Structures are given as C-alpha cells and as structure tokens.
Structure 1
Amino acid sequence: MTTTAAHNTAENHIFEADVARLLHMMVHSVYSDKDVFLRELISNAADASEKLRFEAIATPTLLANDPDSRITLSLDEEKRQLVVEDNGIGMSRDELIEALGTIARSGTRAFMERIEANKAGEGAQLIGQFGVGFYSCFMVAERVDVVSRRAGADEAWLWSSDGRGSYSVSPVDVVDSPSRGTRITLQLMEDAKTYTSRWSVERIVKEQSGHVPVPIKIIEKPGAEPIQLTDGTALWTRSKSDISTEEYTDFYRGISGQYDEPAVTVHFRAEGRHEYTALAFVPGSQPFDMFDPDRKGRMKLYVKRVFITDDTELMPRYLRFVRGLIDTADLPLNVSREMIQASPILAAIRKGVTSRVVAAIEKLAETDADAFIKFWENFGSVVKEGIYEDFERRSQLIALSRFRTTASNDGYRSLADYVKDAKQDQSAIYYLTGNSLDQLKASPQLEGFRARGIEVLLLTDSIDSFWVMNAPEFEGRTFKSITQGTADLAQFATPNDEAATKSETSADLESFIAFARETLAEQVSDVRASDRLTESAVCLVASEQGYDRQMEKILQGAGRLQSAAKPILEINLDHPLVKGIAAKDDGSSLREDAALLLLDQARILDGDRPVDPRAFAERLTRVFQRALQF
C-alpha cells in the first residue's frame, strides 16, 4: 500500500496530550464491545460521501467519472488486515493532521473523565458522541494506515500510527491511493483477527450500519468480487409500515452515535404547502452535549437526499436532545447557511416538526407513565426551558411537566395532580427553589405549609427560577414562591381542623421584635412575626416585590445583580428559644448577641454563611460563657 520513499520523507508528529491519553484508554480496553470501531469508521466514510455530494453541487467536476458513492470493506485473513475505503471527499495533508492528530473540540476532556469513571462495557454508549470515533480502531489494530486523496487534488497523503503517542504524515504516490477518498488499513491484533471473517463483519454492518445512505460492499478475500451488503437506501424515504422497530433503532444509533434505544420515534411526511419528511428520535439517555452552553441541536438537514448541514436550528433549543433529520425538496440544493437561517420555508418546517415531537411526548405521557417518567428524568430540566422561551407552547409544556413535591414522596406529580388535591380557596400554586432536594425538604419556610397539608413544588433546576416568573396561571391559580412576601397561612385550617390563628403577642415579644428590627436595620429590611414557621426559630424571606431568595443568588452568581435586596427576618414567636430571649431584658449585651445570632442562624438555614464568621464565633462564645457562667 505504501512505498519506501514515502516513509523516508515522513513527517513525525506527537499526538496532542488529550489524544494520547484517549488512545491509552482505548488500547487498554476501556470498552468491552469492540465492534463499535467498525460502525464509527463506516459512519465517517458515509459523512465523507455526503460532504462530496454537497461540494459537487457547486463543483460537479469533483465527481469526475465516478458519481456513485460507495463504501468497500476488504478482508485479508492471511495478513490479518481489514480495509475500509470510501470514494468520498478525501483529505489533504493539513486536514489529515487536523482530523486525526488533534482533538480541537469542546467536550473531549469531559468524555475522557466519563469513560474513566465508567465500568468496562458502559463506555460503549459514550463513544461516537465526542467526535473521537476514529480512535476506537486502536482497540483492535496494532497499526493504522490512512491513505487519503482529496477530490480534485493531484496528490495523496499517508497518515500512519501505532497509537502509542506519535504518528507520521508522508506523501504517497497517487498510483497507490484511491482516485479520491480515503482508504483505512487496520493491521489487526492477534485477538482481533475475527474481523477478517466475512460472517463477523457482515453481522456488524447489518446490525449497526444497515441504513447508512451509502451502499456498502465487502470483498471477503484478496481477488474476490465485491458483494453488496446494503443498498444505501435512505430509511426515511420508506413507508412507516415497512420499517421494523429494530430498523428504526439501528438507524437511530447510526445517526446519534449512541447505543441506547430511542424513547420516542417520530416519522412522518408532510404534504401541502410545504413538502418534507422528518425522522426524529428522543434518545433513551442523555446525550453528552445536552448542557452545552451553545445549546445547539443535532438535527440534520437534507435537500432531496443530499446532506446540507447539521449546524442550523431545525428544532427549538429546549428540544436539542432530539436526534434525526429533515429532508425537503422545497429548498434549492445550493442553499447557503444565511438563506437557511432566514428561510420562511424552514421556519414553517421547524414549527411543524416541533409540534409533532411535542405531541408524541404528550402521547407517551398518556400511554406509558413509567417510560414518560424516565424521559422526564433525562430531559425534564431542558424541556422546562421551553416554558420560559416558547410562548406558543407554554401551556402545553407546563401541563406536560412533572415535579417533586412535598406530597410526591419519591415520585413525581403533574400540576393537574396538584390542583386536584389543592386546599379549598387556595388561589396559588406554591413552590420553593434551591440547589438540592434534601436542602429544600429541610427548609424552614416549608414548616407552616407542611403542618397544614399544603403541597409545595420542590424545584431544583436552575431554569426553575426563571420559568415560574413568566408562567401563566394554571387552571386559575398563580405561581407563588414560599420564600417571598407573606405566607397568608392563617386562612387555612390546621390538621386537627381548628382554624389557624396567630398567637397573641406578649409585650416581651413585641419589645424583642422592635429591638431586633432596630439592631438589624442595616442587614434586613424588616423583622416580623412569622406564620410559616412551626419548628424553627427564624427564617429569611424576600419582599413581595422583586426576586425570590434563590433567583437573587443565581443573578448575583452570574454577575447580573450587584447586590441582593435586604431580606426580611421572620421570627417564630411560639419557639421556646425566642420566648426565652424575649423574657431576658436585663440591660446586658445578650439581646444584641441573640438578635445577631438568630440572623446568622437564618442565613445558615438558607444555605448561606454568616457575613462575618469571626464575629459570629465571638458572639457564640459569649452566649456559651453566659449560659455556663464562667
């Protein structure tokens, strides 16, 4: 395949650090299912063919006298070699170095951390998701030679490596290269020689790459005639009734780079004003890039079966986990990226596909509660972004949402469930936002609601603080944070059906509240008696106007809020500690220390630290000394 001269003029390179680390993990059997390498090489070959078809729209001469795409697998049992060859776009010298010698993609480090943390076998679900599929061939090969010739170029290049830290790039005689495209030769390890068996290779191709839109042929031994394994028929062009669940799963795995099964499959052809075919999958597990800051989708756009791009918003960002494609004949083949973004045709297609996907998720919720809960655990935090962003479907998405609540135990509740069980005359849907479920369950602000059997939504996703501010009413009830404003719980009965009334405030308690209000004036906007506390002595709440406590923290952390508004300190007048402090008015500094310690206690219960830890410790010491009288 290569010439001696080529090796003599080779440029030697060291893999960048992340690639070297990745190769080490792959060579040392991070993955138990090594068949994955062939699917990845075939997928790359198919992508190269699609890129050629796209570039050939503007430059037809790139196809020369060979217009039909193909992928050929050649087996040589005697030499222990497997060759994967395509007649796609090919690569130049610089493209070989860029594509195979470096990983300049976000997420690579996260990928390696995840595969190191996973047990052998689980990692197979991760490969292919980070643009590192090519390197999987080093799981089975002791050397990999890649000869590539870019379409329209008069030179070819050899990339070669044993996967041990370095690679070489050298020119190769065009006589020894494909007329265009890429030929990958794997010198297989002794324990991987099964990949020279036609039966093994054919099984892998049909199981994992049977619906690649490029025909795949196999040459089972040197000198044999090519035998067609797949015809390259695009799955999405076939009727739904002719496609089995296994075929859909196979196609989904090929297009998504995942090894789970789709939770929802949406396949339809739209006719009328706009004609297009959509094939979309909701994954069975979270894609690695679901929380990418750019929030880009991964749907592919085809025009008349010609791949155009996978870098345009074909779905709203809150459905970015959906994988699949849209194929339309309503756009020109030479459509530019600028035209795509501004196209009213694509906007209409986007709207139609989004509606069908949301409807399919709604149907899942109605027909298979367990499957829907699994979907919600994977994607609920992203779907809720749509409540904030998608005004048109806001009501749909709110009804679709599921929540942990004070009444859900370990399960989930819908807002319809909440409203059905709400208290008589309850005009609000109460919620509490925070960082973790355990923290929220321990929140003192919940005590009065829990005592009266009033359900509260426990919201732990960052987006929750945003959508609840813009959410419409749900069945006549508004959303209200229990950490903001007054609780107004006196109107609700206690569990023993006696009307809940506020405790009579003694002169000592009134005096202490006034003292605390004056002492803490620079740190809080008010000190008042609480009807939301039943067990804790104190808690902090935000004023009726502005943001609730969690939203303030999020905005401050993001640099969007210079300083939070002064909170309100609520005091439980029935708490023995408060009563004891109120009764002690002997002119000493105890009252001042107690007021400041109660404020710090409220901050700690709210997940914050005392503003001045040293002063906090000194006050605590003085209180202990007084109590122990030394």
Structure 2
Amino acid sequence: MSTPTETIEFQAEARQLLQLMIHSIYSNKDIFLRELISNASDALDKVRLAGYQEKDLDVDTSDLHVELVPDAENRTLTVRDNGIGMSRDDVVDLIGTIAKSGTAELLAQLKESDSVESQALIGQFGVGFYSSFMVADRVELVTRKAGETEGVHWESTGEGSYTIEPVPDAPQGTSVTLHLKAEDAEDSLHDYANPATVRRIVKKYSDFITWPVRMAGEKKDGAEETDDAGPEVETLNSMKALWARPQKDVSDEEYAEFYRHVSHDWQEPLETIRLSAEGTFEYQALLFLPQHAPMDLYMRERRRGVQLYVRRVFIMDDCEALVPEYLRFVKGVVDAADLSLNVSREILQQDRQITAIRRRLVKKVLSTVKTMMTEDADKYATFWEQFGRAVKEGLLEDPDNRDGILEIASFASTHDTEKPTTLADYVSRMRDGQEHVYYMTGESRSSIEASPHMEALRDRGYEVLLLTDPIDEVWVDQVPEFDGKELRSIAKGQVDLETEEQKQEAQKRNEEFSGFLEWITGALSEQVKDVRLSSRLTTSAACLVNDEHDMSPALEKMYRAMGQEMPHVKRILELNPSHPLVTALQGRYADAADESAETAELLYGMALLAEGGDLDDPSRFVSLLAGRLERSL
C-alpha cells in the first residue's frame, strides 16, 4: 500500500549545512551542475553493473545517458538520468540526513573558514547534492529504483523540512528539477536556464564523463510545426575516458576536473600519476595525490581505495584491494582488461592480477614522491606535511616497501628548527666515526629538546631526529637501520659517545661509586630495575632510560589507552656523577640512610618529571619536597 505524503524534518546537521549552502559559502556557483552530473554518472555506472550481475533484474540499459533540460520560461533546470535510482529509504538516508561521522567538526570548520577552504571541506564530505540550493529556491526530485515498481517524489526549499510521497508511474532513474532563483535571471554568466550557460559549464567541468550528457535544443532547421522530428538533441561532452587518451592530448585542467569528479575535492590535485601495463596483466591507471588531507583520514569509518573499472565498465568505488591502508588518501581509477565483471571485494583480496597491480601502484606512488623531493621541494613539503603521518604507517604494514618509504620520509631534527630532514641528508652530515642515526620520541619538539637525554649529544654536536607523531613510537622498534646505519634511541640502552680516555675515567668512577649504586638500586627497587652512572648527562642530576628492547612509556600508555593491559616495564635510573646533588648523596648515604632514601626518591621523581612522565604518588613527592625545603630554610 502506498504511503501518503509526509513532511519530515531535516537532521539538525543537514539543516545547518543547507543554510551554509544557501548563504553561498562557495565562490563559484557553477559547480552545482558538475555535482549533479557526477551523481547521475555514478547512478549510470551502478545500473549497468547491476544489469551485468543480476540477469533477472528488470532494468533497461539500452540507452544510458544524462539529460539536461533548461527551461527559460518556467525558470527551471532539470538534470535527469536513467540510472540505478533510489528507493524511499535511500532518499531519506542519502538526502535527509548526513550519515557520516565528523559532522560537528565539519560544521565548526566551515563556519571558521574562508570560501576556498569551505569548498574543500564540503567536497571532502561528499554532499554535493546540497549545492543545488545555491542556485534554487526549491528543488524537486523524482526517482525510481531499478527493479522496483513505485517511485518517490521529494521536495524541499532547503529550510527546516522536506516532503516525500510515492509516485506510481515514475521512470527508472532520477530527475532533479531546480526552481532557479530570480536574481540569476538577468546575469548572463549565471543564468542556468540558458542553454548556452549549461553548455559552457558541461564542457568545462564534465567533458570527460563516460556517459552522453544530452540537451534538447531548438527544432531542426526547416522542420514544420506538425513535423515529428522534434528538437535537435545535442551531446555536450566528448565521453572520452581520460586514462585511455594519450597523455599529450589531456590538459591539466581536464585532469583537475576529473580529479574533482572522483575525489569530491574542490581543489586541484597536488600531483597526477599515469601508468599502464601490457602483456600478462593489462591495465591503465590514473591516480592523484591531493593537496590536503581529507577530514576522515584518521577516522575509523573512513573510505579508501580507487575506482575499479573492467574494460571501461565501472565495477566499484573505493576498491581497497588496490591501495594499502597507508596510501588511503590516493584517489583515481584503475581500468583492468582481464577481470570478471562479477568480481567481488572478497575475490579481489585474493586475485593474483589485483595483487600485481597493487604492487605496481604502490611503487609508482612512492617513486613519484621521491622524484618530487628533488624536482619540486615545495610540493614535496606539502605532501609530507599533509600525509607523512599516514605514510609512516607503511613502515609497519609493508616491509617489502620499507626502504622506499624511508627514502621519502622527513623528520624534524636538531639540525634545523624549521625544515625537516630526510634520512639520506642526516647520514650525509654524520660526524666522522659516528655509527648511529640518533633519534628520540616525544610529545613535542620542545619537550624533546628540553629532555636531559639530549645534553651530551647537544654538547658534542650530534644531530638528533625529533619524532613526535604517535606512529613514531611504534615503527622505530621495527626498523633497525637505514643505509647500513643503525637507528638508535638516545633514551634507550647505552649511548656510546666517549673517547677511550673518557671510558677509562668512567671505569674508575664506576668502581668509586659501586657501593653507592648498589645501595640506591636497593632503595629504589620498587621503581627501577637498575641504577647506573650516565654518559649522556652534563647538567641534569638524573634521567630515566629503557633497556635496548623494552617498550617505551609512551607506547605502553598508548596500548593501555586502546584497552590492552600491558605489564609495567621498570626502567633504569642514570645518575650524573658530576652533579653536586649526586656527589653529595654519594658522600653521605651510609651515615644518613633514611634521609638519603628520601633524596633518592626525589631524584627519581625529578627524572620522571623532566621527561614529562606521571608520578606514581604525587602527594608523597610533594610532601618529601616540602619537608626538604623546610629543613633548608
């Protein structure tokens, strides 16, 4: 039984987004038509695929196309397709709500951004349909899903609600009619009921669409009023797949528009990548690196992957089997020659050809970024700033390409306060006799630079990589070296910076302090696994270090935050034998054991605080410190 007309409130977030649209956050209103044609093209792709895969589906795929009907007299523009169509539930889910995470963040950023940034944010969120309300006071949509008998009529002014009702005789596909705003009527550039304006926009933004975009023109010359010849039907686009055309025949603007089509980003791509293969596995690929990281790059519900075609037939969006997780920001198209049209996502994960294509795509993306490093430093800097954190995930996920990832990676360093360095550049600056690439992980550059672990390396002029991304805590334990040079944490194990003469002096000090070290190790046995003299401290009294293969406190904390219970790892307390506090304690620990034990606790707490750690018992630390200060007055 048919459902009567209903009036439904927009989801709150959708209502806010519509208001932003209506009040023109876009600087270029023409793009509404690009978005509607892009949606129609997707619907045509899907209905053709459904016709291949579901032989019993009652669907007409004999003349798939997009039709544009500008009507100057009634001030309307209709965009019609005979694609997959939508059911009533589809309409409510896709248009009445924004069923994605991150909505609140999107709206907050939109309100604070300028028009260019707003376009990028909207495009990333994939809500192009709403752009209709930039040019229309009212929008009507009539649609029928392929295989269903009843259609749906949807209508809204873009305010607080919309109406929806059944339509018994709707044709297959979707028709969107825009009742255009009156203020655009006198503007020849933005008169969207004018065929010349429509023709210009399609040629500029949608020429590459693989389906015919048609518009009915005037009656054919010489046709009588009673003639059935009807108006001339004009195909506005060339319908040439960009990835199949010779590279020299494709302009940068065409690439940019195609990128916007597949990515729903409003900006131009940072880099365009083309590749093809012939022989055993034939395919063509057209990939893009964006200029900005999408909002959902680190969201669990994110979509990733490129579009997959087989012999120009669209198979699926977001084909994850073609792109590894750490390159999830890559957009584009892969057109394979030999896959089945009925291939599923599960089959793709095991397909030998897909595996081979994926391997080649990854190497091409990495090599493109490497070329970017030498040929366009600014472009590379943009890429790494936006996507470096994601790319570093590949150091864990993709050991086969680990060397390639390390070659394109950049890190903050003590060598330069502004510009990051590559590992190759670090190695080229290594001092004579230096065997290790030194690094330290931490929450920020400032906290690492202030760390006691840096003192001896800074005094001796050694460069240190400053690793502040959370992923850095993980991959450094899995990557042993670069270019034959071991990566060494300055907060783990022993840091060997001493000359032979200094080592001999250190041996004497160890003998001199042996009894004291044994005592303080016992006094702090609940907190640390060992106490030893340090070669990395020059001004601080103490610091905490991990054994070579122990988990760092930050990584331990990360695992606990993810709900994984980890055993607490005791660390090593290193003391500066030249610091007055340490020498004074060493001189009196045997005569004032209780007070010395309190001083040992304070030393441990100071070392923990100096690296930004959390005290096990802050109130006890404060009490001990207050008592010591009181006795000193």
Q: TM-score, normalised by structure 2?
A: 0.90
Q: 1:616 to 1:215 in 2, by over 3 A?
A: same
1:188 counterpart = 2:180: yes
Q: Within 5 A, what are the aligned runs for 1:414-453?
A: 414-453=422-461
Counterpart contact for 2:51–2:61, Cα < 8 Å: no
Residues 33 and 124 of structure 1 are in contact (CA less than 8 Å); yes or no, is this contact kept in structure 2?
Answer: no
Shift of 1:155: 2.1
Q: Distance in 2 between matches of 1:75 and 1:475?
A: 63
Q: Which residue of 2 aligns with 1:302?
A: 309
CA distance, structure 2, for counterparts of residue 342 and residue 381 of structure 1: 28
- Contact 1:484/1:542 (<8 A) preserved: yes
- CA apart distance, 1:590: 4.2
Q: Distance in 1 between matches of 2:446 and 2:580?
A: 26
2:163 is the counterpart of 1:168: yes
Match of 2:419 in 1: 411
Residue number in structure 2 paired with 1:85: 80
- Say if 2:560 is the partner of 1:556: yes
Give the equivalent residue in structure 2 for 1:527.
531
> How far 1:507 sits from its partner (Å)?
10
| Corresponding position of 2:259 | 252
Distance 1:96 1:353 in 2: 36
Q: Which of 467, 488, 491 is residue 480 of structure 1 equivalent to?
A: 488
Q: Label 1:507 to 1:418 Cα distance change in 2 as closer, same or farther (>3 A).
A: closer
Using the alignment, how far apart are the partners of 2:530 and 2:464 within structure 1? 25
Cα drift, residue 588 of structure 1: 8.0
Q: Contact 1:295–1:320 (CA<8 Å) still a contact in 2?
A: no
Q: Pairwise mapping of residues 204-603 of structure 1 onto structure 2 (< 5 A)?
A: 204-219=201-216, 225-293=232-300, 296-312=303-319, 313-491=321-499, 502=506, 505=509, 513-582=517-586, 587=592, 590-603=595-608
Contact 1:74–1:220 (CA<8 Å) still a contact in 2?
no
Q: Which amino acid aligns with 2:368?
A: A
In the alignment, structure 1 residue 619 sits paired with structure 2 residue 624: yes
CA distance in 2, matches of 1:435, 1:52: 50
Give the superposition deviation at 1:583.
Answer: 5.3
For 1:599, give the aligned amino acid: Y
Matching residue's letter, 1:132: V
CA distance in 2, matches of 1:426, 1:506: 25
Shift of 1:492: 8.8
The separation in 2 between residues aligned to 1:537 and 1:220, in whole angstroms, is 86
Unaligned runs of 5+ in 1: 1-5
SS at the partner of 2:614? coil
1:147 aligns with 2:155: no
Paired residues of 1:211 and 1:230 also in contact (CA < 8 A): yes
> Quick one: which of 4, 10, 15 aligns to 2:10?
15
CA distance in 1, matches of 2:302, 2:389: 13
Deviation by residue 1:571-597 (Cα, 9 ceiling, x = unmatched): 222234444555566738543333222
Aligned to 2:477, the other structure's residue is in SS state helix
Contact 1:210–1:251, Cα closer than 8 Å, also in 2? no
Amino acid at match of 2:371: K
Q: Deviations over 1:50-98 (max 9, x none)?
A: 0011011134676866622222222233433222111111112222122
Cα offset, 1:437, TM superposition? 1.9
Is the deviation greater in 110-119 or in 319-328?
110-119
Contact in 2 for aligned 1:297/1:314 (Cα 8 Å)? no
Letter of the 1:204 counterpart? I
**C-alpha contact 1:107 1:130 (8 A) present in aligned 2:** no
Aligned mates of 1:301, 1:506 — CA distance in 2: 66
Q: Residues 457-512 of structure 1, C-alpha deviation per residue, up to 9 Å, x if partnerless? A: 1111222222222224322221111111111221399xxxx999649749997665
User: Mean alpha-carbon deviation: is it higher for 50-59 or for 582-591?
Assistant: 582-591
Instruction: Name which of 91, 114, 120 aligns with 2:109.
Output: 114
Secondary structure of 1:409 counterpart: strand
The C-alpha deviation readout for 1:174-211, integer Å capped at 9, x for no partner, is 2xx4x211111122333444333444433333333222
What CA deviation, in whole Å up to 9, does each residue of 1:26-56 have, x standing for no partner? 3333333333322221111111010011011
Task: Kindly indicate whether residue 50 of structure 2 is the aligned counterpart of residue 55 of structure 1.
Answer: yes
Amino acid paired to 2:389: S
Tell me whether 310-319 or 442-451 shows the greater mean CA deviation: 310-319
For the 8 Å contact 1:492–1:499, the answer to whether it is kept is yes
1:625 to partner: Cα distance: 1.2
Task: Name whichever of 316-325 and 260-269 sits farther off.
Answer: 260-269
Cα shift readout 1:260-311 (whole Å, capped 9, x = no counterpart): 2222222122100011111111112212232233665230100111111124
- Inter-CA distance 607–35: structure 2 relative to 1 (3 Å threshold): farther
- 1:293 and 1:424 map into 2 onto residues whose CA distance is 46
SS where residue 469 of structure 1 aligns?
coil
Contact 1:388–1:467 (Cα < 8 Å) also in 2 = yes
- What CA distance in whole angstroms lies between the structure 2 residues aligned with 1:587 and 1:320? 62
| Residues 30/593 of structure 1: CA separation in 2 closer, same or farther (3 Å cut) | farther
- Corresponding residue of 2:225: none
The superposition leaves residues 553-581 of structure 1 with CA deviations (integer Å, 9 ceiling, x where unpaired) of 33333333423211111122223444455
Q: In structure 2, what is the equivalent of residue 104 of structure 1?
A: 99
Residues 126 and 264 of structure 2 are in contact (CA less than 8 Å); yes or no, is this contact kept in structure 1? no
Q: Which amino acid aligns with 2:181?
A: M
SS class of match (1:164): coil
Could you tell me which residue of structure 2 aligns to residue 203 of structure 1? 200
Which structure 2 residue ranges, 5 or more long, are not aligned? 220-229
CA distance in 2: counterparts of 1:434 and 1:282, whole angstroms: 29
Deviation at residue 389 of structure 1 after TM alignment: 1.8
Greater alpha carbon shift after TM alignment, 208-217 vs 583-592: 583-592
**Pairing partner for 1:605 from 590, 607, 610:** 610
Give yes or no for contact 1:508–1:583 (8 Å, CA) kept in 2.
no
Judged with a 3 Å threshold, the aligned counterparts in structure 2 of structure 1 residues 27 and 464 are, in CA distance, closer, same or farther, namely: same
How far does residue 379 in structure 1 lie from its aligned partner after superposition? 1.4
- Tell me how far apart the structure 1 counterparts of residues 303 and 477 of structure 2 sit (CA, whole Å): 25
Q: 1:15 to 1:306 in 2, by over 3 A?
A: same
Q: Distance in 2 between matches of 1:473 and 1:508?
A: 37
Residue in structure 2 matched with residue 3 of structure 1 by the alignment: none
TM-score (norm 1): 0.90
Q: Measured at CA, do residues 38 and 441 of structure 1 come closer, stay the same or move farther in structure 2, by a change above 3 Å?
A: farther
How has the CA–CA distance of structure 1 residues 488 and 11 changed in structure 2, closer, same or farther, with 3 Å as cutoff? same
Per the alignment, residue 223 of structure 2 pairs with none
**Closer, same or farther: CA 579–84 of 1 in aligned 2, 3 Å:** same
Give the percent of matched residue pairs that are identical in Structure 1 and Structure 2. Answer: 41
Specify whether residues 282 and 151 from structure 1 end up closer, same or farther in structure 2 by C-alpha distance, changes over 3 A only: same
Alignment length, in residue pairs? 615
2:226 aligned partner: none
Which segment is superposed worse, 24-33 or 465-474? 24-33
